[in-house]
Structure 1
Amino acid sequence: MPRDFYEVLEVPRDAGPDELQQAFRRLARQNHPDVNKDPGAEERFKEINEAYSVLSDPELRKRYDRFGEDFRRVPEDWEERVGAGAGGFGGRAGRGRRATWTAEGLDVDGAFVGGGFDGIDLEDLLGGMFGGRGRGPRAARSAGADQEAELPLTVEEAYRGGRKEITLNGPEGPRSYTVTIPPGVTDGRRIRLAGEGGRGLGDGPAGDLYLVVRLLPHPLFRVEGRNIHVDLKLAPWEAALGATVPVVAPGGETKVTVPSGSSSGRRLRLRGQGMPDPAGHPGDLFAEIKIMVPARLGERERELYSELATTSTFDPRRATTDDARRRR
């Protein structure tokens, strides 16, 4: 049985968006496969990502809270469909009345009228809404419902694209798909698998399956649209004197020229080194300078730094104040 998403994120069921985000970031950092080499870290990371993708989406969370692990089988307009007629609930909700299935039971126009999920066959209960066979008059020809699932990708997978094998758990058990991922696919992009959604009624066509791309957190890269941001760590002398240094990018290591006199926070732009776009212009790679100092100094290093401290007239605090005055 899949774990409860709230348990996965270690949050209460009434957790707000900020609490969910904080829990997700903490657990994602702990379990990212590039950081955590434990054999089970990758599976935990995928589980954490799936839980956050669902609970951070108000509509998906609403369905999950009501239907549990069956929530993906519920079409987005299930409340409207139920409210329009009684067939899926055996006639208990009259035409035009509002019916909502909760964990406690069926609520029609604010009146509790039926038991909870225990012992209930959800497929039989909601009939054709899930593309099932249905019974009686509802078994007439009808197209199957479109379905949606998350497609977690690393930044590298999204950058290069290609074919990916995935397995999804559906009402009839696990099912594998071969998905073609366009190079440079961005977060939130939907990939359509025609005819792989809910089954139609009678000889009705099957619905479509939509895979929603979710970029996984990365220890090095931050993706904003098609632009990619990465930290560029420099030694003090590299920042002061200028240097040509390597920088990591999703497409492989490249070189960047650091101008002399560069301070932490300065961003160097590498045009066209961001996410590719087959239909237009690729994004850019931004390398943000972060000046690093040795944690421990050798004897000679300490002498040189001491000499610099007594020789240099540079005052970083005054320079910051002067820059602020010039901007006024």
Structure 2
Amino acid sequence: MDYKDYYKVMGVERSATQDEIKRAYRKLARKYHPDVNKEAGSEAKFKELGEAYEVLKDPEKRAAYDQLGSNWRAGQDFQPPPDWGAGFEQRGGMPGNEADFSDFFEALFARSAGGARRAGAGQGGPGAQGMHLRGQDHHAQILIDLEDAYRGATRTLNLRMPEVDAQGHVVTRERTLRVQIPKGVRAGQHIRLAGQGAPGLGEGGAGDLYLEIGFNPHGLYRVEGRDVFIDLPLAPWEAALGAEVNVPTPDGKVALKIPPATGSGRRLRLKGRGIPGATPGDLYVVAQVALPPADTEAARSAYRRLQEDFSSFNPRAALYQGAQS
């Protein structure tokens, strides 16, 4: 997937004000509109402009996009980091499915900000006097450690709410919250903080803040739903003959019996050792046979003896049979 430089598409600097972005879009949209410009490629350019403007006109999307940094160049191979948008509050939902956006846009902004209330609720304006409207809900993504999901935790979070200052630049206002992380929470789940959204109008109550949970990358574990996976290195003799080894889990070490003839990639299940819940997940131990280094003459001699003892063994026999069928 290619990185898209939305500022380059719009022909503006990264420091451009919101008004400058709006003026640039209006000028270029008139130039490349398919009803006006019949040249080849104008329609594609017009759609690209629309996508760039969809991001840069919105202070929240723009602030999240800017967090990717200025070192990326248009056309570079790109994958969004797992924490690219963590900590940003959003007011409302994302564009509907009718919009024809690129894979790059979808990878960054396709997450639904579900639960959004009326657009503009909790914001003043002409005719707002005497109205009583509930404040708009806010949404943010937070990252927690996997161990927090096993035990529960109380965490202090710093969230950022993008705003437009008096000069028209996007700035972020930070606030700190003390949040209870419930035991058994899983990635994608939302924690609702009542009254922590936008203030209401008149006697209307404040909106809520919904925190979408994600997990920080872990050095040992991978997570799929409530299931947890860990790669377990095994010595060749442990894999061949069987053994009992200690396996680290987020809940402590567990003794695991390795069956004889365990090959790399084999999954061994520890039932109920995944993320807790009414139906807890499982922890899968994925065997990985690790070879001792042949870095001494004695080690090389041992491998040569092994080669002689297993001269009839061909690890690629199944490949050749498959190629002939």
TM interval, short-chain normalised: 0.5 to 0.7
Instruction: For 1:74-93, list aligned pairs within 5 A.
Output: 76=116, 81=119
Q: Distance in 1 between matches of 2:236 and 2:75?
A: 48
Superposed displacement of residue 213, structure 1: 0.6
State the SS of the aligned residue for 2:140. Answer: strand
Structure 2 counterpart of 1:286:
284
Q: Which residue of 2 aligns with 1:266?
A: 266
- Match of 2:208? 208
Give distance in 2, aligned partners of 1:195 and 1:6.
28
TM-score normalised by structure 1 residue count: 0.62
Alignment CA distance shift 1:148-1:222 (3 Å): same
Q: How do residues 212-227 of structure 1 correspond to structure 2 at under 5 angstroms?
A: 212-227=212-227
Q: What SS class does the counterpart of residue 50 from structure 1 fall into?
A: coil
- Give the letter for the 1:192 counterpart: R
Q: Contact conserved, 1:152 with 1:214, CA < 8 A, in 2?
A: yes
Q: Is 2:186–2:225's contact at 8 Å kept on the other side of the alignment?
A: yes
8 A contact 1:20–1:52 mirrored in 2: no
Residue number in structure 2 paired with 1:120? none
Deviation at 1:132? 3.3
In structure 2, the partner of 1:99 is none
Task: Provide the C-alpha distance between the structure 1 equivalents of 2:173 and 2:215, rounded to a whole number of angstroms.
Answer: 26
The aligned amino acid for 1:194 is A
Distance across 2 between alignment mates of 1:238 and 1:6: 47
> In the alignment, what sits opposite 1:252?
252
- Contact 1:130 1:145 survives alignment (8 Å): yes
Q: Which moved more, 1:182-191 or 1:293-302?
A: 293-302
Does 2:180 align with 1:144? no
CA contact (8 A) 2:87 2:140 kept: no
- Residues paired across the two proteins, number: 237
Deviations 1:17-73 (A, max 9, x none): xx543x52xxx6xxxxxxxxxxxxxxxxx5x3539999xx964999xx9xxxxxxx9
> Matched residues in 2 for 1:320 and 1:265: separation?
17
Tell me if the contact between 2:121 and 2:134 (Cα under 8 Å) persists in the aligned partners.
no
**Residue-by-residue CA offset, 1:156-208 (whole Å, 9 max, x unaligned):** 22222221111223369432222111112111100000111110001111111
User: Which one-letter code corresponds to 2:274 in the other structure?
Assistant: G
CA contact (8 A) 1:200 1:207 kept: yes
CA distance in 2 between partners of 1:218 and 1:230 (Å): 10
Match of 2:314 in 1: 315
Distance in 1, matches of 2:270 and 2:89, equals: 31
Letter in 1 for 2:86: E
Offset at residue 235 of structure 1 (A): 1.2
- Equivalent pair of 1:133/1:202 in contact (CA under 8 Å): no
2:295 aligned residue: 297
Residues 134 and 199 of structure 2 are in contact (CA less than 8 Å); yes or no, is this contact kept in structure 1?
A: yes
Q: Compared with structure 1, are the counterparts of its residues 299 and 180 closer, same or farther at alpha carbon in structure 2 (3 Å cutoff)?
A: same
Counterpart of 2:69 in 1: which secondary structure?
A: helix
CA distance in structure 2 between the aligned counterparts of 1:301 and 1:203, rounded to whole angstroms:
80
Shift of the alpha carbon at 1:254?
A: 1.9
Q: How far did residue 211 of structure 1 move?
A: 0.5
Q: Report the Cα distance in structure 2 between the residues aligned to 1:256 and 1:320, rounded to whole angstroms.
A: 32
Q: How far apart are the structure 2 equivalents of 1:300 and 1:245?
A: 27
1:243-287: CA deviation from partner (whole Å, max 9, x where unpaired): 11122212222221111111111111111111111xx12111111
The 2-side partners of 1:53 and 1:259 are apart by 49
- Contact 2:263/2:287 (8 A) holds in 1: yes
Moved over 6 A (4+): 51-54
Give the structure 2 partner of residue 86 of structure 1.
none
Q: CA deviation at 1:227?
A: 0.5
The CA deviation at 1:221 is 1.1
CA contact (8 A) 2:226 2:275 kept: yes
- Aligned CA distance change for structure 1 residues 320 and 242 (closer, same or farther; 3 Å): farther
* Cα distance in 1 for residues equivalent to 2:87 and 2:179: 22
Evaluate the alpha carbon distance shift between residue 59 and residue 159 of structure 1 in structure 2; reply closer, same or farther with a 3 A threshold. Answer: farther
Q: CA deviation at 1:154?
A: 1.9
The one-letter code sitting in structure 2 at the alignment partner of 1:166 is L
RCO comparison, higher one (Cα < 8 Å, 6+): 2
- Could you tell me whether the CA contact under 8 Å between 2:87 and 2:160 is conserved in 1? no
Gaps of 5+ in 1: 29-45, 66-72, 82-128
Q: Could you tell me which amino acid in structure 2 is paired with residue 182 of structure 1?
A: P
Alignment partners' CA distance in 1, 2:206 and 2:88 = 29
- Compare the two structures and name the one with the higher helix fraction: 1
Match of 2:197 in 1: 197
Deviation at 1:238, TM superposition (A): 1.2
2:86 to 41, 50, 53: 50
User: CA 1:174–1:51 in structure 2 vs 1: closer, same or farther (change >3 Å)?
Assistant: closer
Distance 2:183 2:87 in 1: 26
- Tell me whether 1:187 sits opposite 2:187 in the alignment: yes
TM-score of the two chains, using structure 2 as the length reference? 0.62
CA RMSD of the aligned region, Å?
Answer: 3.7
